[in-house]
């Protein structure tokens, strides 16, 4: 007999162990219930599925097996995923010969993905197989969590199928069962739509002693006393299916190796023999013997997320200690600040976490431990599932892992060993602050919190004792003075002093308690702001940053060091939130997804339509004015150009029309399928509607009468719009076509866009451009004559809506990738707005050309504005290795260059793309000639290119033997210096004909990459910065050659030096390195200043033309600006990866930075350096503070001084 180690057992396998769950699941599915088996891995779920499927088929049920992993996850669209399910169902029930699936898909392409699935099930599956019970068995359901889009609609659809039973009896024959490693809340958290609250949970336990007869039978003839052997195996595994089968398999293996092919064990020694087997074949060197992997899977599930590993291990440590009767670790008495935003681990816990081992049905840590399979719940208490797990993942293993995670492990362990008594082991001062900083954003164990809380308590107590000692000295001094007075006065004053002392001490105690709480709250809010910023919840980040800063500013009597630390932290998160602010308000009120939004031309109204069958009319500040009911879900909505009417396209085939004051509600009937979108004519007299019935209809707005119907389509029409002159209509349809009509109904032409549906069309206000958004994730720009002029790639999923601004300069797009993107009308990408939690269906730009409204299935309308502080230059092909400003000739616009990959792009200072060049090699660096006519470019493949900007030709110069990392022109333009990976400094000199030739090569930094080179303003010195931690300064001799040896070698840096630059007056230079310091040197080599910068190391450096500001790229994704006069360090935060290059504009008003995130950013220095962060942040959120319904009165008062 064969025992199965890993994988699923066949239904007929003789070693299959029938458990209580088998009958429970079978009977529930026979009754047609929705069932789910959610448990840890290798508990026999797949085997249970296979056997239950076989039994159901024997009972006359038709079973369809759906493995979610079979559908894929990477680069998958919702349409592909749902169609994959349809394909499996179509094949699984044997309809291949009856239904042409491709034709069916084409006929229903106008439906959303989940609607297509439902239509197939309703029209084909249950209708064609009437009276045939069907059970859909869905395995690996947890794979849904890795999809790039939400699947709440899928679970809501399953619930809908069960709800349909009361309306359509055919659905009574359809049932579902889910199998996987997840919890219901992992899969869908909307309690109103989840199927799990109407389903049956199938509990899956280990093998029980009365269930293991098949395992015993398999050992008959293999080992003596098989029942006793299996009983001993269960003693180690507690019936865990994988481990139990593995041990049985090992017993058979050893028996077959015996000469007789059978093991004969003396009676009573079975348990001892199994003990030896477990220790030698499983526990000893367990990581190397864990094949197929089982124990490693548990280990990895515990440790894979470092943010949560400490807390999971801490809870498991408590379980081990309780089971061994050790003293339980008490919960912390003084809480540390905890994250309040959602983390990748689980929803945030409270600021005073005190998890218990029992009676925590909703504990995230408990859930994670249960899903790991390491523990089980017994009588409401968590315990280790079996002896094998307890032996492998013992206290020593837990302590080792915790020591690896904790930076203060040695001190904590010594404190625990002292019975929590030795206070010398607690952290103080800088060590304590470093530990608290490390703890931010992590979910730690209770022991960690107790240790850190005790350390904080000791630190405060010592500070308090110092204050009390000082106070006592003051009191004693006063008493000494009073002794010289009369006895009665002395008694009186002594009494008063004592009373005063008591009052002061009581006040200090109360003040300390208050400060502890308030400081923790400030830190927690600041951490939450930082987390929300990283998660693209920028409005929440700004609100919390304002909260943290306000609460900090209200704190009194703080220790100076603590005040300085909190001041820096709250200022930093506020600066980050202000600089990155993009969402100004959000409109919350719909009870479901929002599918459509529009803004009126007069700037007075916002209209939204949602799945709750309502239209909501809002003021621009977010005030809800009125709610209008629709006949069905409004899929599209438009406000008329004269700002008098609002119209909706309803999925029941109706078009509804109101005045904005809510009067004159007209119902326009005529379509025989859902109406997807509507649009007004420029004069607001006509309305066009696009429908799934493959027609367009023109309606008269005054009375709602039908003017004409435009027919001839081969597929559903999705959107139609009037041309700006009102003479033409263009529509997009689901067969990928654009169709052009005159208003009187004459067909002009049809253009095939692609094979994907055209979801949206939009005219530019001047009528010269037409934009389309398609199901292939592309935006296309077309000329008025219908010729394709440009394709815009950038979205990662279907583009569902496009819209031009009123001035025609900006195009907005909404996508199923949950983003809104802004583009220039020439196709240059401008910005990406992220923050929606679901598909973004619609977008509209306000009359001010600044405010963008987006409607999403997450139930929110978000209002966005581009930041005035920065202009991102996006869409660059690779890392931005160099940015440089072109010297500005009189009357010329200011231009800058970005060097990324093999491309050089030229931009105006407002972010408009002017030109671009492609070279045959990837480029590392570039520098403009002083006259601005030539750009020198250093390549990866050793060539130095000179790009003539007038003739657009290039000249290649060779000489380097490795990549060129940096190039610079001399101030007079006569020389070019280049450096690179070959450690050489090469000088190139202009000849009489204007061309350049090699002049000199010096091995400046042997065997070391040279990152940067710089000329002094007088051209007499050249500085190089290299990975060997040095800066070298070379003199230019009268013959035009560099000195053979450096005049200066500056070697104070503790890491590689990436940047070097001379001051404008040439009297000093700065260098920046991976040691996180900016060092300023005199021209003679004296170190004038060393400024340490927070971060991960510094890259290139630039100095403002007036010499007052030093800007440096930081590998922590920021630009740091150092004001030499004030000493202030100011961070510019906008990149998502390290910043590699930096440059000041000639007028010093802007700085441009280039990052590893393939983005360059133009920063407005005048507005940033003199910014009132609180005032700006409050004014940015002015409307949010005024109208958002969830804010309390205290929240609304945060910014009262600015309103």
State the average pLDDT over residues 839-860: 94
State the average pLDDT over residues 1179-1186: 95
* pLDDT at 272 exceeding the cut of 80: yes
As a whole number, the mean pLDDT across the chain is: 87
Residue spans of the domains in the chain: they are: 20-201, 209-284, 295-453, 485-581, 584-866
Half-sphere exposure of 525 (CA within 13 A, CB side): 22
State which CATH number among 1.20.58, 2.30.230, 1.10.730, 3.30.70 fits the domain covering 485-581: 1.20.58
Q: How far apart are CA 177 and CA 136, in angstroms?
A: 6
Predicted local distance difference test score (pLDDT) of residue 479: 55
State the average pLDDT over residues 734-762: 95
Half-sphere exposure of 965 (CA within 13 A, CB side): 25
Tens of pLDDT, residues 692-726 = 999 999 999 999 999 999 999 999 999 999 999 99
Predicted local distance difference test score (pLDDT) of residue 344: 38
Which of 364-373, 659-668, 909-918 is predicted most confidently? 909-918
pLDDT band at 492 (very low <50, low <70, confident <90, very high): low
State the average pLDDT over residues 207-212: 92
- Name the percent of the chain lying above pLDDT 70: 91
* pLDDT at 433 exceeding the cut of 80: no
* pLDDT at 354 exceeding the cut of 60: no
Predicted local distance difference test score (pLDDT) of residue 638: 98
State the average pLDDT over residues 953-970: 94
* pLDDT at 904 exceeding the cut of 90: yes
Name which of 450-459, 589-598, 815-824, 1025-1034 the model is least confident about. Answer: 450-459
Predicted local distance difference test score (pLDDT) of residue 742: 96
* pLDDT at 312 exceeding the cut of 60: yes
Predicted local distance difference test score (pLDDT) of residue 513: 64
Name which of 85-99, 297-311, 928-942 the model is least confident about. Answer: 297-311
pLDDT band at 502 (very low <50, low <70, confident <90, very high): low
Tens of pLDDT, residues 1062-1114 = 999 999 999 999 999 999 999 999 999 999 998 888 999 999 999 999 999 99
* pLDDT at 1009 exceeding the cut of 60: yes
Predicted local distance difference test score (pLDDT) of residue 504: 57
Q: Which is more confidently placed, 1154 or 510? A: 1154
* pLDDT at 345 exceeding the cut of 50: no
State the average pLDDT over residues 361-367: 61
Cis-peptide, bond into residue 493, ω within 30° of zero? no
* pLDDT at 327 exceeding the cut of 50: no
* pLDDT at 167 exceeding the cut of 70: yes
pLDDT band at 778 (very low <50, low <70, confident <90, very high): very high
Q: Does residue 241 contact residue 7 with C-beta atoms inside 8 Å?
A: no
Q: How far apart are CA 227 and CA 18, in angstroms?
A: 17
What 3-state class would DSSP assign to 438? helix
State the average pLDDT over residues 461-465: 67
pLDDT band at 798 (very low <50, low <70, confident <90, very high): very high
Q: How far apart are CA 752 and CA 260, in angstroms?
A: 78
Residue 1165: what are its φ and ψ, rounded to 5°?
-70, -35
CATH class of 584-866: mainly beta
Q: Does residue 738 contact residue 772 with C-beta atoms inside 8 Å?
A: yes
Dihedral, 176, 177, 179, 182 alpha carbons, nearest 10 = 80
pLDDT band at 325 (very low <50, low <70, confident <90, very high): very low
What is the sign of the dihedral through the CA atoms of 443, 448, 449 and 453? negative
pLDDT band at 127 (very low <50, low <70, confident <90, very high): confident
Predicted local distance difference test score (pLDDT) of residue 328: 31
Of the candidates 801, 728, 791, 788, the one whose C-alpha atom is nearest the C-alpha of residue 761 is 801
pLDDT band at 446 (very low <50, low <70, confident <90, very high): low
Interior CA angle at 228 toward 294 and 281, to 5°? 35
* pLDDT at 929 exceeding the cut of 70: yes
Which of 149-153, 191-195, 942-946 is predicted most confidently? 942-946
State the average pLDDT over residues 43-64: 92
State the average pLDDT over residues 725-750: 95
In our burial notation (b when 16+ CB lie closer than 10 A, e otherwise), range 1001-1032 reads bbebbeebbbbbbbbbeebebbbbbbbbbbbb
Q: Does residue 205 contact residue 239 with C-beta atoms inside 8 Å?
A: yes
* pLDDT at 347 exceeding the cut of 60: no
pLDDT band at 689 (very low <50, low <70, confident <90, very high): very high
Question: What is the third-level CATH fold of 20-201?
Answer: Rossmann fold (3.40.50)
Predicted local distance difference test score (pLDDT) of residue 58: 93
Structure token digits, residue 169: 């009896």
Predicted local distance difference test score (pLDDT) of residue 362: 43
* pLDDT at 419 exceeding the cut of 80: no
Q: How far apart are CA 658 and CA 640, in angstroms?
A: 10
């Amino acid at each position: 007999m064969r025992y199965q180690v890993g994988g699923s057992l066949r239904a007929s396998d003789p070693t299959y162990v029938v458990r209580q769950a088998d009958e429970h699941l079978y009977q529930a599915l026979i009754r047609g219930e929705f069932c789910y088996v959610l448990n840890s891995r290798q508990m026999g779920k797949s085997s249970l599925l296979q056997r239950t499927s076989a039994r159901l088929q024997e009972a006359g049920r038709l079973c369809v097996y759906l493995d979610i992993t079979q559908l894929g996850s990477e680069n998958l669209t919702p349409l592909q995923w749902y169609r994959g399910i349809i394909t499996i169902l179509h094949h699984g029930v044997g309809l291949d010969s009856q239904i042409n699936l491709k034709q069916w898909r084409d006929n229903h392409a106008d439906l959303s993905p989940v609607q297509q699935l439902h239509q197939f099930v309703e029209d084909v599956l249950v209708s064609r197989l009437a009276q045939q019970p069907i059970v859909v068995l869905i395995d690996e359901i947890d794979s849904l969590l890795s999809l790039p889009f939400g699947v709440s609609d899928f679970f809501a659809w399953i619930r809908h199928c069960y709800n349909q039973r009361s309306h359509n009896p055919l659905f009574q024959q359809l049932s579902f069962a889910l199998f996987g490693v997840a919890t219901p809340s992992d899969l869908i958290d909307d309690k109103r739509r989840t199927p799990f609250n109407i389903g049956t949970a199938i509990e899956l336990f280990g093998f029980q002693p009365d269930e293991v007869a098949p395992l015993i039978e398999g050992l008959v003839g293999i080992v003596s006393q098989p029942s006793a052997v299996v009983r001993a195996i269960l003693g180690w595994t507690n019936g865990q299916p994988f481990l139990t089968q593995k041990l049985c398999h090992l017993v058979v293996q050893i028996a077959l190796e015996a000469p007789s092919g059978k093991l004969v064990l003396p009676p009573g020694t079975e348990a001892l023999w199994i003990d030896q087997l477990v220790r030698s074949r499983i526990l000893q060197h367990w990581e190397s013997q864990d094949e197929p992997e089982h124990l490693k899977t548990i280990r990895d599930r515990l440790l894979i997320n470092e943010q949560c590993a400490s807390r999971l291990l801490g809870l498991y440590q408590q379980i081990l200690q309780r089971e061994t009767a050790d003293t339980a670790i008490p919960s912390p008495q003084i809480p540390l600040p905890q994250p309040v935003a959602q983390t990748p681990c689980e929803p945030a816990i409270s600021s005073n976490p005190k998890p218990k081992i029992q009676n925590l049905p909703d504990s995230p840590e408990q859930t994670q431990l249960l899903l790991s399979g390491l523990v089980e719940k017994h009588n409401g208490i968590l315990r280790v599932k079996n002896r094998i797990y307890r032996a492998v993942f013992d206290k020593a293993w837990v302590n080792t892992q915790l020591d690896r995670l904790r930076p203060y492990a040695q001190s904590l362990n010594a404190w625990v060993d002292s019975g929590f008594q030795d206070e010398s082991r607690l952290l103080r001062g800088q060590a304590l602050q470093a530990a608290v900083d490390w703890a931010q954003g992590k979910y730690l164990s209770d022991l960690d919190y107790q240790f850190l809380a005790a350390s904080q308590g000791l630190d405060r107590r010592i500070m308090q004792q110092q204050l009390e000692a000082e106070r006592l000295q003051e009191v004693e001094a006063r008493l000494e003075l009073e002794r010289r007075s009369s006895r009665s006065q002395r008694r009186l004053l002594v009494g008063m002093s004592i009373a005063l002392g008591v009052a002061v001490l009581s006040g200090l105690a109360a003040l300390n308690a208050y400060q502890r709480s308030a400081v923790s709250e400030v830190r927690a809010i600041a951490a939450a702001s930082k987390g929300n910023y990283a998660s693209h919840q920028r409005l929440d980040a700004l609100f919390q940053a304002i909260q943290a800063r306000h609460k900090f500013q209200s704190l009194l009597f703080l220790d100076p060091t603590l005040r300085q630390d909190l001041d820096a932290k709250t200022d930093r998160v506020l600066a980050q939130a202000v600089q990155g602010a993009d969402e100004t308000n959000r409109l919350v009120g719909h009870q479901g997804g929002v599918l459509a939004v529009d803004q009126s031309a007069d700037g007075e109204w916002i209209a939204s339509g949602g799945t709750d069958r309502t239209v909501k009319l809002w003021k621009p500040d977010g005030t809800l004015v009125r709610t209008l009911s629709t006949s069905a879900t409004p899929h599209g909505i438009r406000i008329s150009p004269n700002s008098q009417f609002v119209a909706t396209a309803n999925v029941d085939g109706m078009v509804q029309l109101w005045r904005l004051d809510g009067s004159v509600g007209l119902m326009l009937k005529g379509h025989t399928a859902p109406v997807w979108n509507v649009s007004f004519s420029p004069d607001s007299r006509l309305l066009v509607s696009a429908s799934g019935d493959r027609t367009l209809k023109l309606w008269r707005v005054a009375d709602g009468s039908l003017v004409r119907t435009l027919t001839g389509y081969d597929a559903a029409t999705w959107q139609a719009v009037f041309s700006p002159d009102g003479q033409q209509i263009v529509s997009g349809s689901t067969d990928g076509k654009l169709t052009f009509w005159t208003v009187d109904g004459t067909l002009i032409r049809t253009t095939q866009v692609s094979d994907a549906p055209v979801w949206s069309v939009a005219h530019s206000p001047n009528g010269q451009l037409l934009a389309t958004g398609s199901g292939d994730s592309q935006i296309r720009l077309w000329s008025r004559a219908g010729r394709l002029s440009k394709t815009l790639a950038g979205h990662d999923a279907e583009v569902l809506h496009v819209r031009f601004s009123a001035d025609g300069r900006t195009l907005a797009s909404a996508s199923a990738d949950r983003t809104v993107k802004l583009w220039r009308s020439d196709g240059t990408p401008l910005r990406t707005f992220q923050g929606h939690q679901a598909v973004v269906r619609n977008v509209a730009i306000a009359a001010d050309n600044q405010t963008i409204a987006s409607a999403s299935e997450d139930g929110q309308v978000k209002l966005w504005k581009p930041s005035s502080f920065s202009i991102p230059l996006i869409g660059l092909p690779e890392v931005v290795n160099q940015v440089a400003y072109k010297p500005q000739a009189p009357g010329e616009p200011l231009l800058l260059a970005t060097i990324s990959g093999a491309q050089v792009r030229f931009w105006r200072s407002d972010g408009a793309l002017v030109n671009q060049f492609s070279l045959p090699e990837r480029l590392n660096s570039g520098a403009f000639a002083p006259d601005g006519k030539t750009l020198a470019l250093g390549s990866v493949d050793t060539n130095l290119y000179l790009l003539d900007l007038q003739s657009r030709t290039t000249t290649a110069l060779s000489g380097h033997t490795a990549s060129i990392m940096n190039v610079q022109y001399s101030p007079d333009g006569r020389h070019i210096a280049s450096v690179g990976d070959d450690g050489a400094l090469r000088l190139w000199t202009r000849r009489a004909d204007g061309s350049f030739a090699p002049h000199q090569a010096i091995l400046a930094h042997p065997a070391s990459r040279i990152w940067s080179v710089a000329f002094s303003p007088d051209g007499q010195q050249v500085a190089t910065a290299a990975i060997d931690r040095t800066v070298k300064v070379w003199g230019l001799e009268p013959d035009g050659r560099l000195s053979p040896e450096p005049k200066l070698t500056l070697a104070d840096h503790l890491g590689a030096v990436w940047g070097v630059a001379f001051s404008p007056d040439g009297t000093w230079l700065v260098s920046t390195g991976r040691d996180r310091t900016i060092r300023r040197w005199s021209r003679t080599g004296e170190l004038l200043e060393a400024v340490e910068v927070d971060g991960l190391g510094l890259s290139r450096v630039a100095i403002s033309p007036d010499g007052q500001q030093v800007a440096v790229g930081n590998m922590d994704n920021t630009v740091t600006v150092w004001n030499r006069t004030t000493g202030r360090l100011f961070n510019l935060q906008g990149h998502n990866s390290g910043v590699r290059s930096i440059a000041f504009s000639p007028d010093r008003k802007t700085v441009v930075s280039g990052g590893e995130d393939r983005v360059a950013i133009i920063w407005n220095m005048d507005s940033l350096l003199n910014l009132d962060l609180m005032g700006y942040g409050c004014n940015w959120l002015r409307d949010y503070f005024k109208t958002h319904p969830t804010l309390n009165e205290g929240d609304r008062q945060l910014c009262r001084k600015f309103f």
